[in-house]
Chains A and B, each alone.
Chain A
Amino acid sequence: AQSVTQPDIHITVSEGASLELRCNYSYGATPYLFWYVQSPGQGLQLLLKYFSGDTLVQGIKGFEAEFKRSQSSFNLRKPSVHWSDAAEYFCAVAASGGYQKVTFGTGTKLQVIP
């Protein structure tokens, strides 16, 4: 069964600074990988997804993520954070080649300070 780890529970960055949120997964083959964002009191919004091909994936709101098979990682990045990016971010993994439920990480809460 697949698993996903988000080692940072809480991250604080200054507005305008760069951001990297870590995500490590465990799965024997190439998985499907997702990043979602959740604003307070709302559901999850898909930021980006990786299935195959180019390992650098562009998403909405200026986010990107890079799939690194050798490190089993799928870190989320943004070059310049805006105050509106303050939210909780979830990495998720799903097995390819046959249905498996999506497994979500425990989330990283992002605080943006002026």
Chain B
Amino acid sequence: EAGVTQSPTHLIKTRGQQATLRCSPISGHTSVYWYQQALGLGLQFLLWYDEGEERNRGNFPPRFSGRQFPNYSSELNVNALELEDSALYLCASSLEVVREGQPQHFGDGTRLSIL
């Protein structure tokens, strides 16, 4: 069974540009989660999508947005990039919402560097 896949592995942008990160969940998983892991800040919850809908959002500005496609893959878009957006962005998927006790399975992340 293929795991969660994220692309690209690395992404280098400059301030003010826009970045698009992609995630393919494990087959059969309907929920996709995005996290930001900046140096020294742990995992910060960004977004949760389930069945194509945004279900929950972390404390991030609106320039962080995303969507989930009918095949359950997902995109994270970051507009007007700032230096502090440099981080590892992790995507996770699960079978159902976590209330059913399904753990999240993580991809290896996209390393976004802002110059």
A90 near B56: Cβ-Cβ < 8 Å = no
Complex CA gap A49/B98 in Å reads: 12
A100 near B43: Cβ-Cβ < 8 Å = no
A71 to chain B, nearest CB (A): 22
Name 19 extra pairs, CB < 8 A, besides A43-B109, A99-B99: A34-B103, A36-B106, A43-B4, A43-B90, A43-B92, A43-B106, A43-B108, A44-B90, A44-B92, A44-B106, A46-B103, A51-B101, A97-B99, A99-B55, A102-B98, A102-B104, A103-B45, A107-B42, A107-B43
Complex CA gap A36/B101 in Å reads: 15
Total count of chain A residues near the partner, CB < 8 A: 26
Closest chain A residue, CB of each to CB of B104: A102
B99 near A96: Cβ-Cβ < 8 Å = yes
Complex CA gap A105/B4 in Å reads: 22
B58 near A101: Cβ-Cβ < 8 Å = yes
Q: Which residue of B45, B101, B107 has the most chain A CB atoms within 10 A of its CB atom? A: B101
By a beta-carbon cutoff of 8 Å, the part of chain B in contact with chain A is 4, 33, 35, 42-43, 45, 48, 55-56, 58, 90, 92, 97-99, 101, 103-109
Complex CA gap A42/B6 in Å reads: 11
Q: Is A111 an interface residue (CB 8 A)?
A: no
> 5 closest Cβ contacts across the A-B interface?
A43-B106, A106-B42, A44-B106, A104-B43, A99-B97
Measured between beta carbons, the chain B residues less than 8 angstroms from A32 are 98, 101
Q: Is A41 an interface residue (CB 8 A)?
A: yes
Q: Is A14 an interface residue (CB 8 A)?
A: no
Closest chain A residue, CB of each to CB of B106: A43
A99 near B98: Cβ-Cβ < 8 Å = yes
Measured between beta carbons, the chain A residues less than 8 angstroms from B106 are 36, 43-45
State which of B45, B101, B105, B108 has its C-beta within 8 Å of the C-beta of A101. Answer: B45
Q: Is A98 an interface residue (CB 8 A)?
A: yes
Closest chain A residue, CB of each to CB of B56: A101
